[in-house]
Every structure is written in structure tokens, then in C-alpha cells.
């Protein structure tokens, strides 16, 4: 390194140390740090749903159950067709018939999927109403119904997917 640069760097370094004394902030406790803390009340118990909301939830759950029953009825026919087509070639008559019964099976569960969508919409509407102060409670009931409908639709999806994997793919 060049001695001139070293001397200039040393002079600059030392000039930073030789400045006027600065007043650094105190580490003592400030007034705001010792202010009293507000007490937080525990969350209130969930408010039960009103009768209209309960009736709407029951309607959608009935629709989901209706879709589940239709799905179970169509599943037996689709399973039989898929078993018959499991060793068949793609585009053969039995393979096409199995694909048609799987499509009918997916159509049969329409009520379940529609009920889940309606419960999702109801949950969002109720959440907004509770947030705006227009309604109180009921979210837990809607969420429980949504969870049940979602489990039903997921189970149907799993059964359809398992059935599709038994068929040869194009």
C-alpha cells in the first residue's frame, strides 16, 4: 500500500475519534415504558346461531346428504363398469362405457358440491355481517357444516380418482 494513502487513512481515522463529546441517549427507563398496562378481557363465549341461519345450514346439509346418496347409488354402477373395463384397451366399448359411468358419477355428486359452495358463500357473508356488526355469532355453526360438507366432497373426489386410476389412460 502507498505510504501516502496509509497516512491519509490514519489521519481520517483519528479525526473521527477526536471530535467534540456527544451526548448519547440514556438507557434509563422512559415514562412510557412504565405506564400502566390495560387489562385484556378473555374472549366471550360463542353466540349461538339464530333460527334462520340454522334453517339455512340444515337446508344445505340436507342437499349435501342428497348428493351423497345419489353418488353412492351411481358409484355401484360405475364400479361395475370400471371393473369390466380394467383390462380393456383405451377407446374400446367397455372403456368408453366406464368413462361414461364415471361422468355420470361426477354429475350425481353435483348436489354435494353445490351445497359446499353455498356453505362457503354463507360463511363469507356471515363473517362480513359479524365484522360489520350486523350479526352476532353463528360462524362456528357454519364452519362446522362447511367442514362436514368438505369432508364429504373430498371423500367423493378420492373415490373417483381411485376409480380413474384403475382404467388405462390414453
Q: In this structure, what DSSP letter does residue 42 have?
A: P
Total length of the chain: 170
Higher pLDDT, 86 or 116: 116
Q: How confident is the model at residue 48 (pLDDT cuts 50, 70, 90)?
A: low
161 exposure class (CB count in 10 Å sphere: 0-12, 13-18, 19+): exposed
Asked if 105 and 152 count as a contact pair (C-beta separation under 8 A), the reply is no
Mean of pLDDT values over 71-91? 92
Predicted confidence (pLDDT) at residue 135 exceeds the cutoff of 70 = yes
Whether the full predicted model's pTM is greater than 0.75, yes or no, is no
Domain ranges of the chain: 51-165
CA 65 to chain centre: 22
Helix (H, G, I), strand (E, B) or coil at 166: coil
Q: Which residue blocks in the chain are alpha helix, DSSP H? A: 3-17, 51-85, 93-108, 110-132, 139-165
Q: Return the pLDDT at 169.
A: 85
Mean of pLDDT values over 47-53? 76
Amino acid at each position: 500500500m502507498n505510504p501516502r494513502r496509509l497516512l491519509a487513512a490514519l489521519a481520517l481515522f483519528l479525526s473521527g475519534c477526536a471530535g467534540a463529546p456527544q451526548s448519547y441517549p440514556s438507557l434509563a427507563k422512559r415514562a412510557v415504558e412504565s405506564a400502566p398496562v390495560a387489562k385484556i378481557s378473555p374472549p366471550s363465549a360463542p353466540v349461538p346461531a339464530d333460527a334462520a341461519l340454522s334453517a339455512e345450514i340444515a337446508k344445505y346439509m340436507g342437499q349435501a346428504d342428497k348428493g351423497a346418496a345419489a353418488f353412492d347409488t351411481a358409484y355401484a354402477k360405475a364400479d361395475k363398469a370400471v371393473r369390466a373395463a380394467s383390462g380393456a384397451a383405451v377407446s374400446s366399448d367397455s372403456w368408453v362405457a366406464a368413462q361414461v359411468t364415471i361422468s355420470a358419477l361426477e354429475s350425481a355428486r353435483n348436489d354435494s358440491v353445490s351445497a359446499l359452495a353455498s356453505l362457503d358463500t354463507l360463511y363469507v357473508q356471515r363473517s362480513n355481517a359479524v365484522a360489520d356488526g350486523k350479526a352476532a355469532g353463528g360462524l362456528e355453526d357454519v364452519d362446522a357444516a362447511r367442514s362436514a360438507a368438505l369432508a364429504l366432497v373430498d371423500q367423493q373426489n378420492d373415490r373417483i380418482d381411485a376409480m380413474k386410476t384403475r382404467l388405462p389412460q390414453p
